[in-house]
Amino acid sequence: MSPLIFINGVLLASAAAVTLGLAVTLFLVLLLGADAPVLAAETHPLMVAVGLFAVLTATSGVSFVGVVKNKPWRWPAVAVMMASLAGLTWYFLPA
């Protein structure tokens, strides 16, 4: 197993776990809706976070498949994955 496969797999699994956790949290916030008006302000940022992590999960998955199967498009896929990771990091770091 090459180091790139390992790193890509760890990133894919981590991104998928965070996406699933945020999606479940969003589901619960939407389910509580009117019963918890304090949570209403958190709905939009939570939706944005779910979307961003879903993009990272998707790009990581495509990159992982490309690297594991040694496809000719693996390097552009890795570049897109790294760009999405950099964008996610930039979005969540404080200004």
Q: What is the DSSP string of 35-78?
A: G-GGGGGGHHHHHHHHHHHHHHHHHHHHHHHHHHTT-TTHHHHH
pLDDT (tens digit, 0 to 9) for every residue of the chain, 95 residues total?
789 999 999 999 999 999 999 999 999 999 988 788 888 888 999 999 999 999 999 999 999 999 999 999 999 999 999 999 999 999 999 87
Predicted local confidence at residue 57, as pLDDT: 98
Contact 66, 44 (CB under 8 A): no
Contact 53, 22 (CB under 8 A): yes
Burial class (CB in 10 A: 0-12, 13-18, 19+), 56: buried
- C-alpha 70/C-alpha 85 separation (Å) is 22
pTM given for the model:
0.92
Predicted local confidence at residue 21, as pLDDT: 98
Predicted local confidence at residue 7, as pLDDT: 94
Instruction: Calculate Rg over the CA atoms of the chain.
Output: 16
Predicted local confidence at residue 3, as pLDDT: 92
